[in-house]
Amino acid sequence: MKRKHLETHFTKLLNQRAVMLEVMIPYAGEEWTRPNEEKWSFGETYLHLYLLLKWFRRLNQVYLPIASKLAYPFRNKPSDWQSENVYELYQQKNQKTMKAPFFLMPPNTTKLQPQFHDILTILDEETDKLAMLVCHLDEDIAGHIRYPDPLAGNPNLLQAIDLLAIHEQHHFRLCKQYYKLE
């Protein structure tokens, strides 16, 4: 079974997280401090990334068994495995960043803020759960499992995993910009 592109996307995800944590070292202990009132803190950003990953994994627990059967007849046809940076394209077109849906927004309460290292732990755990969920799929099938997301061009599973990495990189770039780390 082919899994080269899935492994590439998950590796990219983990590598860019490691780089971002290195960049954040000067802010150790201040992860929940916002760079300004309008922008998310590191903690809020990572919580948002966790929520997206959790929702995507939960969706796929139900969706993949059905969609993989529907994709099977197309397994011998070519498919894309990379995605465009839809966040950058949206920002260029609309002159503003894309707004997250309400269920992916980090809570505004300061009382319930978890420890930042706990967020990192659950983000990694969700990533592992998602990887385990998709690791059994052959990429010839995964490339034909589609998600109804017109903004992202209705990506297939391979592109959707790539979009997770692109999404995280987008937020890391914004954090670097807002915290003046570049």
Residue 33 lies inside a defined structural domain of this protein: no
Residue 31 lies inside a defined structural domain of this protein: no
Residue 11 lies inside a defined structural domain of this protein: yes
Residue 71 lies inside a defined structural domain of this protein: yes
> What span, in angstroms and rounded, lies between the C-alpha atoms of 7 and 134?
10
Q: Which of 83, 67, 81 lies closest to 3, judged by CA?
A: 81
25, amino acid identity: I
> What span, in angstroms and rounded, lies between the C-alpha atoms of 60 and 159?
14
Cα atoms in the Cβ-side hemisphere of radius 13 Å centred on 157: 29
The reported pLDDT for the residue numbered 63 is 98
Residue 32 lies inside a defined structural domain of this protein: no
Q: In this structure, what CATH number is given to the domain that contains residue 75? A: 1.20.120
Structural domain span for residue 80: 4-25+38-178
Per-residue pLDDT tens for 12-60? 999 999 999 999 999 999 999 999 999 999 999 999 999 999 999 999 9
Residue 30 lies inside a defined structural domain of this protein: no
Dihedral pair phi/psi, residue 128, rounded to 5°: -65, -40
Q: How many domains does the chain have?
A: 1
